[in-house]
A and B are shown apart, each in its own frame.
Chain A
Amino acid sequence: MVWLWDNLDLVLRLTADHVRLSIIPIVVGFIVCIPFGWLANRYTVARTILLTLGGVLFSIPSLALFVTLPALLGTRILDEANVVVALCVYAIAVMVRGAADAFSSVSRDVISSSTAVGFSAVSRFWTVEFPLAGPVLLASLRVVSVSTVSLLSVGSLIGVQSLGYLFINGYQRDFPGEILIGIAFTVIVAVVFDTILVLVGRLLMPWTRATPRRRSVTSASAAVTA
């Protein structure tokens, strides 16, 4: 604890870096997965290709990817872009499957009746399919958020500043307290991200919390007797 107070500046600076660097892959993963997920849901061939590709990409060890990317992207070896790009790749790899499942979770009946009453393909996508895919999209986004926050620590091995620095430094100095602080702050960042996602989901998808009919009937009668 004393160590934390003495080094609060460092810990907070690393936390800020950690937050900044992990937000990008989460946002990019979410945006990119939407057209890919739609394609994968629409065409069987696209589904096979995209999901296989996603699986292969996700199976590449992170450290290997971090050190290979400079050669592929022409970035410097210590550039934080390497880590961000690598994490974007993982985020997309996970999200594509989630997005494909999300779009296939939308009821065929609802889509067909939307077409029948006169939605154009574009307005149907944005006002019907996308919002109704929301709950499943959110579920995979939460997985991506947590995995990105934790994977980012590995980036410290190639010198990109994040809370992972505390693990390496603590290990090198044989000081478990610093490692524990690193773990605690990583968990805090992950939990805060997850909470924000859940709250935003509730705000944007109020229908998911609408009490189904049976319960609303009993609560109404309970209110009457009360």
Chain B
Amino acid sequence: MIEFHSVTKRFPDGTLAVEDFSLVLPSRKTTVFVGSSGCGKTTLLRMINRMIDPTSGSIAIDGVDIASGSAVALRRSIGYVMQNSGLLPHRRVIDNVATVPLLKGVKKADAHAQAMELLDTVGLDRVLAYRYPSQLSGGQQQRVGVARGLAVNPNILLMDEPFGAVDPIVRDDLQQELLRLQHDLDKTVVFVTHDIDEAFLLGDQVVILEKGAQIAQVGTPKEILANPASDFVASFIGADRGKRRLAVDSSVARSGDDVVLVDGAGYVAGVIEAPGGVLPGAGAGVNTDSLARSVSNKTDQAGDA
């Protein structure tokens, strides 16, 4: 469990990045901070491993104030994955994965053996172990980044827009992989993104942030979709422009048992199974998660706006 107690961060240049932020991030769940650029979401994340120290307020992990120990020891106990992987370009993949165990004094042979297993875990071929990061694709580098983050078997995994720089198809892959990993490993994941669809897909708890890391709404994706707390939230998740309100388009010819769905603006959003022309669970039972996923390409723009 990670607790923020009235945390404020003012940078030396006077920018108030985070103002009086309090929140509990439950253990073994994925919490996603989502908001536009400059809303303070990355600052929040980087305060958890003391890359940034709060100006006032405190952060506790499992009840222990993180400021009480050494920052280096804290960072070695927390997995960290960033955009563009942040791998060491002069180290081979296997040494990159084994970085933190080696720093902690684990024997090289043991660290390498464990790193090989981690490559399997994140779905990378072992032949890539002796390549340099520059010889890998962007998606493969991100997987190595995740493997490195998992190398000390941390309880907490911090992910700072880890899939922001890869193409949509690879991003889809990586997101599914992360869901699978999270299902198997049960970490406390803190994920930062500006993409609301990614947030709804990955988050157990989604935190929508306004400027100064002011919480616009906290909740499960379903709660937020069903009841946007404010106009800001409604606009951010695309509800105000009807992007989230889907309807069956009867003008399109049905192929098999699928019917086409359109959003409020009339754009095609996806398809839904309707055996024999009947929608399952008519209305209330529609799975909003899968709807959110199917409109992901178009609402990217809503996230940036």
What residues of chain A have their CB less than 8 Å away from a CB belonging to chain B? Answer: 107, 109-110, 112-120, 123, 128, 131-132, 205, 207, 210-213, 216
Name which residue of chain A comes closest to B73, CB basis.
A118
Contact between B51 and A112 (Cβ–Cβ < 8 Å)? yes
Other A-B pairs beyond A117-B103, A119-B72, 5, CB < 8 Å: A109-B86, A112-B86, A115-B75, A117-B75, A118-B103
* 25 A-B pairs with C-beta separation under 8 A: A107-B89, A109-B84, A110-B86, A110-B87, A110-B89, A112-B51, A112-B82, A112-B86, A113-B80, A113-B85, A116-B51, A116-B75, A116-B80, A116-B82, A116-B158, A117-B75, A117-B76, A118-B72, A118-B73, A119-B72, A132-B90, A205-B90, A207-B132, A210-B131, A213-B134
Could you tell me the distance between the alpha carbons of A207 and B132 in the complex, rounded to whole angstroms? Answer: 7
| Minimum Cβ distance to chain A for residue B88 (Å) | 6
Asked if B148 is at the interface of the complex by the 8 Å CB criterion, the answer is: yes
Asked if B116 is at the interface of the complex by the 8 Å CB criterion, the answer is: no
A107, A112, A210, A216, most chain B CB atoms within 10 A: A210
Name which residue of chain B comes closest to A208, CB basis.
B90
Contact between A119 and B86 (Cβ–Cβ < 8 Å)? no
Contact between A115 and B51 (Cβ–Cβ < 8 Å)? yes
Contact between B100 and A118 (Cβ–Cβ < 8 Å)? yes
State which residues 9-39 of B face A: CB under 8 Å. Answer: none
Q: A110-B88, A116-B82, A119-B103 are in contact. Are A210 and B76 (CB under 8 A)?
A: no
Q: A212-B134, A213-B136 are in contact. Are A207 and B89 (CB under 8 A)?
A: yes
User: Inside 8 A of B80's CB, which chain A residues have their CB?
Assistant: 113, 116-117
- Top 3 A-B pairs ranked by shortest CB distance? A113-B86, A118-B76, A118-B75
User: Inside 8 A of B49's CB, which chain A residues have their CB?
Assistant: 116
Could you tell me the distance between the alpha carbons of A141 and B87 in the complex, rounded to whole angstroms? Answer: 27
Contact between A114 and B88 (Cβ–Cβ < 8 Å)? yes
Asked if B99 is at the interface of the complex by the 8 Å CB criterion, the answer is: yes
A-B contact count (CB 8 A): 70
Asked if B250 is at the interface of the complex by the 8 Å CB criterion, the answer is: no
Name which residue of chain A comes closest to B90, CB basis.
A207
User: Inside 8 A of B134's CB, which chain A residues have their CB?
Assistant: 207, 210, 212-213
User: Inside 8 A of B149's CB, which chain A residues have their CB?
Assistant: 117
Summarize A's interface: helix, strand, loop or mixed: helix
| Minimum Cβ distance to chain B for residue A204 (Å) | 10
| Minimum Cβ distance to chain B for residue A159 (Å) | 46
User: Inside 8 A of B87's CB, which chain A residues have their CB?
Assistant: 110, 113
Q: Which of B99, B132, B136 contacts A117, CB < 8 Å?
A: B99
User: Inside 8 A of B82's CB, which chain A residues have their CB?
Assistant: 109, 112-113, 116
Asked if B137 is at the interface of the complex by the 8 Å CB criterion, the answer is: yes
User: Inside 8 A of B46's CB, which chain A residues have their CB?
Assistant: 116
User: Inside 8 A of B135's CB, which chain A residues have their CB?
Assistant: 210-213, 216
Could you tell me the distance between the alpha carbons of A23 and B135 in the complex, rounded to whole angstroms? Answer: 37
User: Inside 8 A of B76's CB, which chain A residues have their CB?
Assistant: 117-118
State which residues 57-85 of B face A: CB under 8 Å. Answer: 72-73, 75-76, 80, 82, 84-85
| Minimum Cβ distance to chain A for residue B78 (Å) | 8
User: Inside 8 A of A116's CB, which chain B residues have their CB?
Assistant: 46, 49, 51, 75, 80, 82, 86, 158
Name which residue of chain A comes closest to B92, CB basis.
A207
Name which residue of chain A comes closest to B75, CB basis.
A118
User: Inside 8 A of B91's CB, which chain A residues have their CB?
Assistant: 207
Name which residue of chain A comes closest to B148, CB basis.
A117
User: Inside 8 A of B86's CB, which chain A residues have their CB?
Assistant: 109-110, 112-114, 116
State which residues 84-122 of B face A: CB under 8 Å. Answer: 84-91, 99-100, 103
Could you tell me the distance between the alpha carbons of A120 and B136 in the complex, rounded to whole angstroms? Answer: 28
Could you tell me the distance between the alpha carbons of A115 and B136 in the complex, rounded to whole angstroms? Answer: 23
State which residues 268-293 of B face A: CB under 8 Å. Answer: none
| Minimum Cβ distance to chain B for residue A220 (Å) | 11
B49, B84, B89, B91, most chain A CB atoms within 10 A: B89
User: Inside 8 A of A207's CB, which chain B residues have their CB?
Assistant: 89-91, 132, 134
Contact between B75 and A132 (Cβ–Cβ < 8 Å)? no
Q: Which of B72, B73, B132, B148 contacts A210, CB < 8 Å?
A: B132
Name which residue of chain B comes closest to A213, CB basis.
B135
Name which residue of chain A comes closest to B76, CB basis.
A118
Could you tell me the distance between the alpha carbons of A110 and B135 in the complex, rounded to whole angstroms? Answer: 17
